[in-house]
Amino acid sequence: MKKVIHTDNAPKAVGPYSQAIQMGEFLFCSGQISIDPKTNEVFTGDIKTQTEMVMKNVEAVLAASNMNFSNVVKTTIFLTNMGDFATVNEIYAKAFTAAPPARSTVAVAALPKGVNVEIEVLAHR
């Protein structure tokens, strides 16, 4: 049965979608961007801070379903500039120190709200 997952510890959806959907043992998380969930302010500054914010938001959505980064089996990273790849990788790697998930990284022309990185995850209990 499909269950909508929502937490105030992650940004509100900026469109007609859920933060995550739990289906059985799987959690399908929408992409997270650098929005501060407390203020709803978008951060478009340096890529390091953007990525740290994104990872905190991903972590909050996972926690809302009693999961954490160890449950993540697949991620997709969207970047507006592949020149940011190394910096994003450095921050991302801190969350996945053992048995990192499968991953794709895709260059895109633009992302919502003018941010430079978006990360979505698929997790399994």
What are the extents of the domains in the chain? 2-124
pLDDT at 53 over 90: yes
Instruction: Count helices and strands (H / E) in the chain.
Output: 2, 6
**Residue 50 pLDDT:** 98
pTM, entire model: 0.96
pLDDT at 104 over 90: yes
Looking at domain 2-124, its CATH superfamily turns out to be: RutC-like (3.30.1330.40)
**Residue 39 pLDDT:** 95
CA separation for the pair 100, 111 (Å, rounded):
25
DSSP state of 32: B
> pLDDT band at residue 40, thresholds of 50, 70 and 90?
very high
Is residue 75 within 8 Å of residue 120, measured between CB atoms? yes
CA separation for the pair 21, 6 (Å, rounded):
9
Whole-angstrom CA distances from 92 to 23, 111, 115, 117 are 25, 19, 17, 11
Strand partners, 103: 75
**Residue 14 pLDDT:** 84
